[in-house]
Structure 1
Amino acid sequence: MTMLEGVTTRPGGRRPGATRTRVDILAAAQRSFAEHGYVLTTIRGVARAAGVDPALVLQFFGSKDGLFDAALRDDPPVRALVTLAGEGDPSDLGPRLAARYLELWEDPHTGPRMLAVVRAATAAPSASAMVTAFMTDEVMLPLARAIGADQAELRAALTGAYLFGVASARYVLGVAPLAALDREAAVTYVAPVVQHHLTGDLTPP
């Protein structure tokens, strides 16, 4: 059964409320982006899955880019990474962050959503820009600021870029031998680099 099967198309007519309608559209969009990717997802297809008129999707989100951005920011799994900064000492944040990040990728519920985001980022420049802005502004930058590090913006960009690259190589491209490592072993290699980006000396050599 695919992620889109079992979705009942509702008849036309008045919807129970704007909030509920928006939630239904976002849920249908997230399923479509995860199942079909950014390029093959269409406003018409999302509208059909949500049981609404395509014009209503455009009314709420303006375009497919707007729909993707909203779906990305609607309770994204990676936002939970920000809370790690307050759960322990910054000196061991790298291992905790790396472990949680890889765990999210391998979780059967959150993994497909994260895979859809990465694939979208490589499929269209507009999607790539939205993913980059979201990861930097709403995940990595708040995390860097929460630990009180200097050069927070640079640290956020370096951390986000590194983790994004690791995930792409390990889970999207299947680059060996990184993809063959079990998660615990992968964390031991990834964590020191993450820790350096977050709290290490960033003075250029």
Structure 2
Amino acid sequence: MTPAKDHATSARRRGRRPAGEDTRATLLAAAREVFAESGFDGATVRSIAARAGVDAAMVNHWFGSKEGLFAQAVLQVPFDPKEVLETVTADGPDRLGENIVRTFLTRWDGAGGEVFVALVRSITTREEALRALKEMLVNHMFAGVTKAAGCDQPELRASLCATQIIGMGMARYVARLEPMASADIETMVAAIAPTLQRYLTGDIG
């Protein structure tokens, strides 16, 4: 085999995926450090990329956005927060409650609930995981929902929504309370969505 053919064969054998996966893994590790040190708002794509020693464009290439990187590096949730926000607000303010419950359960059920359980367990031992959960659900996810709905008292409403979603996940996936643990999604939507809807657009005075 000639040197040129040998080089080409070796390159094909190695492929580009391992190097790419190394970059992705390095970005995830760097992101966990930077998010823990600075929080979501204080962390920047550039600072994370610099910590990882890669170009900032790699964040968008692998994760789509800072939000996508945050979700995979810190929360390990099985969805993109930006996409979820767009989904739950797509039908206007009057259907926010049912869209939130249906969307979260669809994502979590699809992952077998293990991701939520792992997250809850990490919260009990790692302060940054608790801080990350609060920032994601309260400061970003539900803050975005209340902004889209034009809610009054947005901080209080966002916090109330977060308690409902966390409690729902705890009961269904961690404590596995029956019949809640095995109820179908639409049954859960019918039972829980009205409470979330009141938290968002109803009277909480």
Relative to the length of structure 2, the TM-score reads 0.62
Mark the runs of 5 or more structure 1 residues left unpaired by the alignment. 1-14, 30-58, 62-66
Which residue number corresponds to residue 119 of structure 1?
A: 121
The 8 Å contact of residues 97 and 196 in structure 2, kept in 1 or not, is answered as: yes
The match for 2:110 among 98, 107, 118 is: 107
Aligned AA (2:194): P
CA drift of 1:172 comes to 1.4
Match of 1:134 in 2: 136
Partner of 1:164: 166
Cα shift at 1:177: 2.6
Q: Which has the higher helix share?
A: 2
> Within 2, Cα distance between the matches of 1:105 and 1:27?
21
Displacement after TM superposition at 1:75 (Å): 8.2
Structure 2, unaligned runs of 5 or more: 1-17, 31-50, 54-68
Would you say the 8 A contact 2:89–2:145 is kept in 1? no
- Larger displacement relative to structure 2 (180-189 or 191-200): 180-189
Q: What CA deviation, in whole Å up to 9, does each residue of 1:68-125 have, x standing for no partner?
A: 887026886161321135411211211111111111110138x443332222123333
Distance 2:88 2:107 in 1: 17
CA RMSD of aligned residues (A): 3.6
Higher RCO (CA 8 Å, separation ≥ 6 residues): 1
Partner deviation per Cα, 1:159-181 (whole Å, 9 max, x = no partner): 01110111111111102232132
In the TM superposition, what whole-angstrom CA distance separates every residue of 1:23-57 from its partner, at most 9, and x where no partner exists? 1235689xxxxxxxxxxxxxxxxxxxxxxxxxxxx
The residue type paired with residue 108 of structure 1 is: A
Distance 1:107 1:69 in 2: 16
Aligned sequence identity (%): 30
CA separation in 2, counterparts of 1:69 and 1:92? 25
The whole-number CA distance in structure 1 between the counterparts of 2:77 and 2:118 is 15
